[in-house]
Amino acid sequence: MTFDVIVLGAGAAGLMAAATAGQAGSRVLLLDHAEAAGKKILISGGGRCNFTNMETAPDRFLSENPHFAKSALARYTQWDFLALVDRYRIAWHEKTLGQLFCDGSARQIVAMLLEECARGGVEIRLSTPIGEIGHGDGVFRVAGETAPHLVIATGGPSIPKMGASGIAYEIAQRFGLPVVPPRPALVPLTLGEEAQAFRGITGVSCPVTARVGDTAFSEAALFTHRGLSGPAILQASSYWTPGAPVVLELIANAAEILSDARRRSPRSRLRAVLSEHLPNRLAEVLAAHIGLKRELGNTSDADLQRAADTLRALTFHPTGTEGFAKAEVTAGGISTDALSSRTMEAKSVPGLHAIGEAVDVTGWLGGYNFQWAWSSGWAAGRAVSARRQG
Ligand code: FDA
């Protein structure tokens, strides 16, 4: 056989798996149809790559099996990746909420991973389509090469213009592995006609608590011409299902604020009070939406309570999401039921592994998705080499 392992996809997970396997002594071929490795890493985090999160823990990930990610995350942690970054003297900082970014450029992370691959003697072939995958007698055949291990690391279909594709699911299907229906996640939500006024305040942003069902995120929300975005909404979007409401808490203690304002300045109007706590354009749209026309001093307790209720739970019914074209990640993917959580190997197809975004494990916004790529990539890289040595 020409290689010990062929890794499909030179993104975050594939680079980590290839480097790990190569450094453990395996002969590794890494294939990608793109002309450059790690293209999503390069554009991530606004060009500075939010490469991990200090708060990484299994409860920061969505999956049909919430336990699946535990093993890989525990064996290759955020601290392991940070130690690697430090070994390469890449300067970094915590931006917020445990999110670690390069001080310089995401290019440093790609260069580091390529150097790790070089140290492992990994052969990287770019601009190479995967084509037909042959399999028989424990051997995988891809692009004219053969190996006893094949690692699917081709990510999900989010941002197709970056070269993303759903090929992972086609390969899974080819080998009989179940796929949890993929859906856009960490994605802006669209609003319909009934929210027209809010779509008119494009660019307005404010801190909110965004709720979908029992899940809530306290970060900024951004009003866009199509609907809602910003970190709180992107986070909530991963939990959103069509038809579900998204509830924004704009002012937690609204009842208290409004009754204080009524007592202190009975001649004031709702809009003026709101603009002390919210951006002006949002205050204006909200005041019109709530429809309290009178001065606060002439407003009944019931009307004041109704206004406070809206400010504590402004409810939208999104018409949809902005889709894979705008989604930072894909939720769903190759079912974890089909895989070993320790080795990422398909239970029914010895030698076949799946890692990264291709698998039904999706992180929150904030460096969690890269950590999953590093952790699952490491697990597969180690597993294929251990088998070879054994
Ligand atoms: P990834 O998509 O990285 O790699 C897949 C590879 O497979 C690519 O190189 C692709 O070219 C190749 N491939 C696909 N189809 C193929 C085919 N048919 N044939 C051959 N090769 C094929 N996450 C995070 O933690 N912090 C962050 O700051 C950001 N920022 C961010 C910004 C933007 C704009 C996006 C779109 C995404 C992020 N993410 C993120 C998410 C993060 O980029 C993502 O979760 C990881 O890149 C997933 O790593 P994978 O290796 O699984 O897929």
Q: For position 100, which CATH number holds?
A: 3.50.50.60
Burial class (CB in 10 A: 0-12, 13-18, 19+), 13: buried
Find the 216 Cα to ligand 1 centroid distance in Å. Answer: 26
pLDDT value of position 389:
56
Q: Residue 390 pLDDT > 60, yes or no? A: no
- 5-8/28-31 β-pairing: parallel
Question: In terms of domains, do 209 and 335 share one?
Answer: no
Question: In terms of domains, do 179 and 298 share one?
Answer: no
**How long is the chain?**
390
End-to-end CA distance of the chain: 17
DSSP 34: S
pLDDT value of position 213:
97
Kindly indicate the confidence band of residue 388, based on its pLDDT and cuts at 50, 70 and 90.
Answer: low
pLDDT value of position 293:
84
Residues spanned by the domain of 239: 189-321
Instruction: State if residue 48 touches ligand 1 by the CB under 6 angstroms criterion.
Output: no
CB 31 within 8 A of CB 142: yes
DSSP β-bridge partners for residue 209: 218, 249
Average pLDDT for 135-164: 95
Instruction: State if residue 362 touches ligand 1 by the CB under 6 angstroms criterion.
Output: no
Choice from 40, 96, 117, 186 to test ligand 1 binding pocket (greatest atom count within 8 A of CB): 40
- 99-102/50-53 β-pairing: antiparallel
Choice from 97, 154, 235, 322 to test ligand 1 binding pocket (greatest atom count within 8 A of CB): 154
CB 121 within 8 A of CB 294: no
Q: Residue 46 pLDDT > 70, yes or no? A: yes
Instruction: State if residue 344 touches ligand 1 by the CB under 6 angstroms criterion.
Output: no
Find the 83 Cα to ligand 1 centroid distance in Å. Answer: 22
Question: In terms of domains, do 180 and 198 share one?
Answer: no
Question: In terms of domains, do 66 and 178 share one?
Answer: yes
Among the candidates 276, 294, 321, a domain finishes at: 321
Instruction: State if residue 60 touches ligand 1 by the CB under 6 angstroms criterion.
Output: no
Average pLDDT for 282-309: 95
Find the 176 Cα to ligand 1 centroid distance in Å. Answer: 24
Residue pointed to by tokens 């019931």? 302
- Return the higher-pLDDT residue of 172 and 161: 172
Residue of the nearest CA to atom 3 in ligand 1?
11
pLDDT value of position 363:
98
Residue of the nearest CA to atom 8 in ligand 1?
11
Question: In terms of domains, do 262 and 304 share one?
Answer: yes
Of residues 112, 92, 94, the one with CA closest to residue 103 = 92
Question: In terms of domains, do 380 and 246 share one?
Answer: no
Residue of the nearest CA to atom 43 in ligand 1?
40
20 occurs within a structural domain: yes
Of residues 151, 140, 136, the one with CA closest to residue 31 = 151
Among the candidates 321, 352, 370, a domain finishes at: 321
Find the 4 Cα to ligand 1 centroid distance in Å. Answer: 24
Q: Residue 37 pLDDT > 70, yes or no? A: yes
What is the number of H-type helices and E-type strands within the chain?
13, 22
Condensed to tens digits (0 to 9), the pLDDT of residues 66-124 reads: 999 999 999 999 999 999 999 999 999 999 999 999 999 999 999 999 999 999 999 99
Question: In terms of domains, do 11 and 62 share one?
Answer: yes
Kindly indicate the confidence band of residue 194, based on its pLDDT and cuts at 50, 70 and 90.
Answer: confident
DSSP 353: E
Closest ligand 1 atom to 39 CA? 9
For 289, the 3-state DSSP assignment is helix
Sheet strands (E) in 224-364: 227-229, 246-249, 314-316, 320-321, 329-334, 352-354, 362-363
User: Residue 125: phi, psi to the nearest 5?
Assistant: -120, 115
Choice from 44, 132, 368 to test ligand 1 binding pocket (greatest atom count within 8 A of CB): 44
pLDDT value of position 387:
63
Instruction: State if residue 188 touches ligand 1 by the CB under 6 angstroms criterion.
Output: no
Instruction: State if residue 45 touches ligand 1 by the CB under 6 angstroms criterion.
Output: yes
Question: In terms of domains, do 114 and 244 share one?
Answer: no
Average pLDDT score, the chain: 97
Question: In terms of domains, do 264 and 231 share one?
Answer: yes
CB 15 within 8 A of CB 102: no
Q: Residue 2 pLDDT > 60, yes or no? A: yes
11 occurs within a structural domain: yes
Kindly indicate the confidence band of residue 163, based on its pLDDT and cuts at 50, 70 and 90.
Answer: confident
pLDDT value of position 239:
98
Q: Tell me how many domains the chain contains.
A: 2
Residue 212 belongs to domain with CATH number: 2.40.30.10
Kindly indicate the confidence band of residue 162, based on its pLDDT and cuts at 50, 70 and 90.
Answer: confident
Q: What angle do CA 20, 11, 181 make, to 5 degrees?
A: 110
DSSP 156: -
The CA distance from 189 to 172, in Å, is: 29
Question: In terms of domains, do 163 and 62 share one?
Answer: yes
Question: In terms of domains, do 229 and 209 share one?
Answer: yes
Q: Which amino acid is at 183?
A: R
- 179-185/329-334 β-pairing: antiparallel
Q: Residues 371-383, buried b or exposed e (16+ Cβ, 10 A)?
A: bbbbbbbbbbbbb
Find the 280 Cα to ligand 1 centroid distance in Å. Answer: 38
Q: Residue 200 pLDDT > 60, yes or no? A: yes
147 occurs within a structural domain: yes
326 occurs within a structural domain: no
CB atoms within 10 A of CB 313: 15
